[in-house]
Amino acid sequence: GCMVNGKLYPFGHIERTEDCYRCNCSERGLECCSLFHTPVSYDKKNCKVIFNKNRCDYDVVQKDDPSKECFVYARM
């Protein structure tokens, strides 16, 4: 199997790791890609980024009221 952040996964396709990656585990090693997109263009003065582990994505919310979302212009 393959070790990912201290957790052993069996050989084969890993749909979702605990830290939100999709991986393929083989005798040659481990290949992973993220399930989330990082926000790069938003109002950085009034907003902050919080990682939502349940959805495997980032929430961009207002700094003074985190219950309100901010508009994101671009994600990578």
pLDDT in tens, 11-56: 999 999 988 999 999 999 999 999 999 999 999 999 999 999 999 9
Q: Are residues 44 and 30 in the same domain?
A: no
Q: Enter the DSSP assignment of 1.
A: -
What is the span of the domain harbouring residue 58?
A: 39-75
Measured CA to CA, the distance from residue 69 to residue 63 in angstroms comes to: 10
Number of structural domains the chain divides into = 2
Q: How many residues does the chain have?
A: 76
- Which pTM does this prediction carry? 0.73
CB atoms inside a 10 Å sphere around CB 17: 19
CATH number of the structural domain spanning residue 67: 2.20.25.590
Q: Are residues 24 and 8 in the same domain?
A: yes
